[in-house]
């Protein structure tokens, strides 16, 4: 069936480039037809695609609302933002800014990637270098389409660059979109190197990891498992011994990271910065006797863990609880507003425990490199893929293929790393099932923008959200796809079919 939509794309590239292209800043709006005609322009285009990944990973709140909010793991914080995606109420509709943001951001990256891929054949440069740039562009295009197809279902499939506005397009079936995703990732996986001297480049392992997730989503279990195991067996990657070390601000280059979006302490080169450190704080400074300090973060209070998530952890046995800042770690620090009878350094009064002001704060994204507690721009890289998830992909795929014996081995590697000294968290093959996988992904990957996709992929979204979310009992089958942004529909000369139920 023919569909119509409008896609307005702003192509961001940079004015100049050098060998350290990940440090380049895309600033201007240029016509790809007249820009990608030489090596410098091609490098600038790839650099622009990298830079635009920050829109999905770290700079903005919208991607978190469409990936973790309203699931069994997270609800809104005291700021009470994103409520339609927590309650699944009528305001979750085609006018929601969040769906427009994801749509526009992904298609912007797709158009930049298309321009690079299309123009590369006409650029005279070292062939190996050119192939690497094409591979990176194809990876980013595949990642963008993977976001779109999981959120919206059938989406327009653009493989050529678009200049300006277009009034017609066809929403391609999901199967066709997935085919392009697979082709792009196979190309990238075949041509990228296992490692590069410059940290932050897309590597072969990133393409294979993402491809394993794609095949997992398509229920092609054997292929998903094989790809995940290839990444696990790549000597480039190793699980860190200490879970908390993965996220430490002084350890942003480590063997567990497969791909991370780069940030730096330079406003001209990192835009708004990585603001994720703001999103999972509680509102501790709202009570008498407390003021903001760098060590506890700036309270934006966007996302709070559900009781279901926190009850999944065994604090006495599981070291992953150390990545949460608990109530008992706070103390009075503001002499000017101390409650009567309290002194500086006293523990916070127990009456505040289990209130919204002191929900457990996820500190995976904590960034003490900021100059003061009110600074919103963060400098930490955003981890997109890491080896801990790869092990769980292998376990899930093998289990679904009926090979629980091998599946539990990969599963237990994550459990062994999580266990406190002297504790045993390993399970038997007979205990492994989809719910066990989802529970483990919750403990291991909390807040890492996977949960919505996990629940939909495993056909557990309705069950888990209705039973375990804080407010999502109104979720319906129609919510498993997001609405096509109304702004795209309104710009059309002919009607477009909205996703069912919106």
| Cβ atoms 304, 75 nearer than 8 A | yes
Grade residue 499 by pLDDT with cuts at 50, 70 and 90: very high
Domain positions in the chain = 1-173+451-502, 192-270+385-432, 276-376
Considering the domain delimited by 1-173+451-502, tell me its CATH architecture: Alpha Horseshoe (1.25)
| Cβ atoms 418, 243 nearer than 8 A | yes
Q: What is the pLDDT of residue 31?
A: 52
pLDDT digits (tens, 9 = 90+) for 87-137: 999 999 999 999 999 999 999 999 999 999 999 999 999 999 999 999 999
Longest dimension (CA), the chain: 76
Grade residue 269 by pLDDT with cuts at 50, 70 and 90: low
Average pLDDT over residues 11-17: 35
In this chain, the answer to whether the domains covering 1-173+451-502 and 192-270+385-432 adopt an identical fold is: yes
Q: How far apart are CA 110 and CA 137, in angstroms?
A: 9
Q: How far apart are CA 482 and CA 501, in angstroms?
A: 10
Grade residue 9 by pLDDT with cuts at 50, 70 and 90: very low
pLDDT digits (tens, 9 = 90+) for 426-440: 999 999 999 999 999
Q: What is the pLDDT of residue 303?
A: 97
Q: Which of 47, 57, 36 is nearest to 14 (CA)?
A: 47
Q: Which of 242, 120, 202, 251 is nearest to 385 (CA)?
A: 202
Would you say residue 20 has pLDDT above 90?
A: no
Lowest mean pLDDT across 11-20, 200-209, 474-483? 11-20
In percent, the amount of the chain with pLDDT more than 70 equals 92
Lowest mean pLDDT across 72-81, 159-168, 384-393? 159-168
Would you say residue 7 has pLDDT above 50?
A: no
Q: What is the pLDDT of residue 495?
A: 75
Angle at CA of residue 140, ends 36 and 244, nearest 5°: 135
Which residue carries 């996990």 as its tokens? 454
Which residue carries 């604090």 as its tokens? 315
Which residue carries 């480590």 as its tokens? 254
What is the fold of 192-270+385-432?
1.25.40
Helices (H) then strands (E): counts for the chain: 18, 10
| Cβ atoms 333, 344 nearer than 8 A | yes
Would you say residue 23 has pLDDT above 80?
A: no
Q: What is the pLDDT of residue 28?
A: 35
Grade residue 246 by pLDDT with cuts at 50, 70 and 90: very high
Q: How far apart are CA 469 and CA 87, in angstroms?
A: 9
3-state class (DSSP) for residue 196: coil
CA distances from 390 to 283, 310, 411 (A): 34, 23, 10
pTM above 0.85, yes or no: yes
| Cβ atoms 387, 239 nearer than 8 A | yes
Tokens of 280: 């999972």
């Amino acid at each position: 069936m023919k569909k119509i939509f409008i896609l307005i794309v702003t192509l961001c590239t940079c004015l100049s480039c050098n060998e350290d292209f990940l440090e380049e800043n895309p600033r201007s709006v240029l016509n790809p037809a007249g820009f990608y005609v030489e090596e410098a322009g091609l490098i600038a285009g790839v650099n622009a695609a990298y830079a635009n990944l920050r829109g999905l990973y770290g700079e903005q709140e919208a991607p978190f609302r469409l990936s973790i909010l309203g699931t069994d793991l997270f609800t809104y914080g005291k700021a009470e933002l994103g409520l339609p995606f927590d309650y699944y109420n009528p305001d979750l509709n085609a006018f929601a800014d969040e769906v427009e943001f994801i749509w526009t951001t992904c298609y912007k990256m797709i158009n930049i990637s298309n321009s690079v891929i299309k123009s590369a054949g006409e650029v005279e440069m070292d062939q190996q270098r050119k192939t690497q740039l094409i591979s990176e562009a194809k990876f980013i295009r595949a990642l963008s389409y993977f976001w779109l197809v999981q959120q919206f279902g059938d989406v327009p499939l653009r493989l050529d660059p678009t200049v300006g506005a277009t009034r017609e397009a066809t929403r391609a079936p999901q199967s066709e979109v997935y085919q392009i995703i697979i082709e792009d990732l196979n190309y990238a996986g075949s041509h990228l190197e296992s490692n590069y001297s410059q940290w932050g480049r897309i590597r072969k392992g990133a393409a294979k990891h993402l491809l394993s997730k794609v095949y997992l989503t398509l229920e092609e279990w054997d292929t998903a498992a094989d790809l995940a195991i290839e990444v696990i067996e790549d000597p480039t990657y190793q699980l860190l011994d200490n879970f908390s070390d993965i996220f430490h601000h002084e350890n942003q280059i480590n063997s567990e990271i497969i791909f991370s979006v780069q940030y730096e302490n330079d406003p001209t080169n990192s835009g708004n910065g990585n603001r994720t450190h703001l999103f999972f704080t509680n509102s501790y400074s709202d009570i008498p006797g407390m003021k903001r300090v760098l060590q506890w973060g700036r309270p934006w209070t966007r996302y709070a863990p559900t009781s279901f998530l926190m009850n999944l952890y065994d604090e006495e046995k599981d070291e992953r609880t150390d990545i949460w800042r608990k109530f008992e770690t706070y103390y009075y620090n503001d002499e000017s507003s101390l409650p009567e009878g309290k002194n500086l350094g006293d523990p916070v009064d127990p009456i505040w425990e289990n209130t919204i002001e002191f929900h457990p704060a996820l500190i995976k994204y904590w960034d003490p490199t900021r100059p003061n507690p009110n600074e919103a721009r963060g400098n930490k890289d955003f981890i997109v893929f890491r080896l801990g998830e790869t092990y769980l992909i292998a376990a899930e795929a093998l289990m679904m293929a009926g090979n629980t014996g091998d599946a539990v081995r990969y599963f237990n590697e994550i459990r062994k790393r999580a266990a406190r000294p002297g504790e045993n968290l390993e399970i038997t093959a007979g205990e492994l099932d989809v719910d066990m996988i989802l529970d483990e992904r919750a403990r291991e990957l909390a807040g890492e923008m996977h949960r919505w996709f996990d629940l939909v992929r495993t056909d557990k979204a309705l069950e888990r959200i209705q039973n375990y979310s804080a407010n999502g009992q109104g979720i319906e089958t129609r919510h498993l796809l997001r609405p096509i942004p109304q702004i795209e529909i309104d710009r059309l000369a002919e009607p477009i079919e909205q996703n069912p139920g919106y």
